[in-house]
Structure 1
Amino acid sequence: MKLKITVDGNVYEVEVEVAEPETPRHSYVPPMGQARVSAAPSSAVAPPSAAAGHAPVADESKVCRSPLAGVVSKVAVQPGQSIQVNDVLIVLEAMKMETVITAPIAGKISKINAAEGDGVQQGQVLIEFE
């Protein structure tokens, strides 16, 4: 699997070997080459669980889920705002590394379920789209 990673403004293309069998991808995982990470990539993203705060949504293509557990360091959008693919939505911090979450689709922000300083879990719905 090839990933594009941005570190201190420099773009690197790295190839990663998948050690586990591939699981089905969900809409909250950005397509290859579209996720931007400001440091080394975190471990593989697991699909959302059905635990509290991770309830299934009627249309998964209309939500953005957290790819990892961390703390919201920046919310870059507001409800009602129009967005394009790859626009920055939220920046998460985990283990002193920032992960930039970008828009997987073009559309409009319907609801933001996390605020700056909030702790979030992997798979938690962060943003809902119209």
Structure 2
Amino acid sequence: MKTYKITVNGKVYEVTVEEASANETASVKAAPAAPVSSGSSADEKIEAPIQGTILSMKVQAGSVVKKGQILAILEAMKLENEIVSPFDGTVSSVSAKDGQVVDSGALLLTIAAK
């Protein structure tokens, strides 16, 4: 497996790629990529990776979160996508609410990194 950092429209994503042998068929596991933390102590924005409807915000302002913790559930094309924290920190503000339709790139919440 190899891990790459890819920049798309100014956002950095971390992608892990596994090489398949000639006898294997590719399996697809859909999971939205989360922006990688730039390592600064300032608030980091968590944005919607795709257009959809917020089914559930799992955190509120002041919540302490761990890397990989589910922050929100975003429904898009009848699939539920988990938005997870890319790092440990404290939720500074929540900009989206349950039932809200958001565009790709819309601000969902901000986290102050530890």
Aligned to 1:124: 106
Residue in structure 2 matching 1:32, options 6, 15, 19: 15
Aligned to 1:112: 94
Residues 63 and 103 (structure 1), Cα distance of their counterparts in 2 relative to 1, 3 Å cut: same
How many Å separate the matches in 2 of 1:68 and 1:60? Answer: 24
CA shift for structure 1 position 72: 0.1
Residue in structure 2 matching 1:41, options 30, 36, 43: 30
Aligned to 1:64: 46
Q: Please state which structure has a larger fraction of its residues in strand.
A: 2
Structure 1 stretches of 4+ moved >4 Å: none
2:78 maps to amino acid: K
CA shift for structure 1 position 23: 5.9
Give the gaps of 5 or more residues in structure 2: 17-27, 36-40
How many Å separate the matches in 1 of 2:68 and 2:15? Answer: 12
CA shift for structure 1 position 116: 0.4
Number of aligned residues = 91
Q: Does 1:87 align with 2:76?
A: no
How many Å separate the matches in 2 of 1:23 and 1:106? Answer: 22
Give the gaps of 5 or more residues in structure 1: 3-21, 34-38, 48-58
Higher Rg? 2
Q: Is the 8 A contact 2:93 2:111 kept in 1?
A: yes
What is the root-mean-square deviation in Å for CA atoms of aligned residues?
3.1
Length-normalised TM-score, structure 2: 0.66
Percent identity of equivalent pairs: 26
How many Å separate the matches in 2 of 1:66 and 1:129? Answer: 14
